[in-house]
Every structure is written in C-alpha cells, then in structure tokens.
Chains A and B, each alone.
Chain A
Amino acid sequence: DTEVTQTPKHLVMGMTNKKSLKCEQHMGHRAMYWYKQKAKKPPELMFVYSYEKLSINESVPSRFSPECPNSSLLNLHLHALQPEDSALYLCASSRHTEAFFGQGTRLTVV
C-alpha cells in the first residue's frame, strides 16, 4: 500500500472562514509534508514533520497552521486566507527515501 489520502478533494472558503485539510498514510512513514502548488508551477515545500515534530517551516504565513496528531495523520488548519492562497495543496510522506503524494486538495479562496 503506497497510498496517501487527502480530504477534501475540493474546498471553497471565504476569507473569514476557518477550515482544515487532512492527510493520512498507513505506510509507517515518519516524515510528512505539506506542499503548495500554483497553476503551471512546481510544488513548493511549506512544512515538514519528522517523527511528529515540526522540523521545517519554509517561512509560511501564520494563517496556515500545521498539526501532526499522530504518526499517520497530518492536518493543515486554514484561517483568514487571501484569494492568492488559492492553489493545489499536496501532502506527502516518506521514510528517508522515496516520497509518495496524495491526490491534493484544490482550494479556492473567495
């Protein structure tokens, strides 16, 4: 099983809303990632969790708040987003070698 599951697949939210993106993997991977991808651009790293601890924050604005409740789950809490935050948000996991990606959440901020 090499599956990373993200929910929801699509999300439309207002600038005053609070929402959460969820990511789950059952491969025993101890590193989990959030990436942001704008149209016609490559994925850009946002956060890395290693052994359930935040190890990398790529200077992401505080309106994005990651959380790793356990080794299988990764959340991204969203609050007071801007229209320019509209993008595909990808979750990934790895065990020091090959990374596997979820199908992404396509987020639109209105």
Chain B
Amino acid sequence: GIQVEQSPPDLILQEGANSTLRCNFSDSVNNLQWFHQNPWGQLINLFYIPSGTKQNGRLSATTVATERYSLLYISSSQTTDSGVYFCAVERSGGFKTIFGAGTRLFVKA
C-alpha cells in the first residue's frame, strides 16, 4: 500500500517563529489533506490540497503531486498552534484515506 512519511516527528518552537512541515508519499494520490489534532482529539481541517498552493491566514500549503510531496508552512507561530499535524492521502478509485505518523508541535510562550 501507499506509504506516507512526515517530518520532522517532533518540533519545538518559540512563539513567533516560522516552520515547515513535510509530507512525502510513495504513489500518486487523488486527495491530500492536512489536519491539526488539538489536545481534545478533534481533527481540524486545515487544507484540502491534492496539488497547487493555498493560503489561510498564517498557514499555507503546497503540494507538488509529480514529485510526491506536500509542505505545510506555519508563520508567526502561536501557543494555540500546538498539537499534532497530520497529512492524509487517498489513492484514486477508493475511499481509503491513509494518515502519516504526524508531526507533534509544541510552541513555547
């Protein structure tokens, strides 16, 4: 099956710093999403981005489908950005969404 690798696994930032999270996938995908899981377990949709670039406030994402990777940029980080960021992909022809292992982010005040 398709492999999804996220890096780094853990990240500690000072408030106000910028960061880049990476997601590599081993095969072509139909769908790609970025989620933020808060401490209460809720998975919050950040981006639906099978290709191209999107921005939403301090967050932006880029997926280069031909090279099988996606990047999530967090600028001017805040303590409320802490949590786990997941990349999830779905191959064509099915509903099987596969999650990467996640990047655990902690933003210090």
Contact = CB atoms under 8 A, between A and B. Distances in A.
Contacts of A41: 101
Interface string B66-109: 00000000000000000000101000001111111110000000
B95 A97 contact: no
Q: Could you say which interface size class chain A belongs to?
A: 20 to 34
Contacts of A94: 95, 97
A42 B102 contact: yes
B102 A88 contact: no
- Which secondary structure dominates where chain B touches chain A? strand
B64 to A, nearest CB: 19
B52 interface: no
Contacts of B97: 33, 45, 92, 94, 99
Contacts, number: 52
A90 interface: yes
A45 B98 contact: yes
A98 B96 CA distance: 12
Contacts of A103: 40-42
A81 interface: no
B45 interface: yes
A66 interface: no
A82 interface: no
Contact of A97 (B31, B41, B101): B31
B31 A31 contact: no
Given A33-B95, A48-B95, A99 B88 contact: yes
A77 interface: no
11 contacts: A33-B95, A33-B97, A37-B41, A41-B101, A44-B99, A88-B41, A94-B97, A98-B31, A100-B45, A101-B43, A104-B41
* The 9 residue pairs across chains A and B that have the minimum distance between CB atoms: A42-B99, A98-B48, A101-B43, A48-B95, A104-B41, A103-B42, A31-B95, A88-B41, A43-B99
Interface of B: 31, 33, 35, 40-43, 45, 48, 86, 88, 94-102
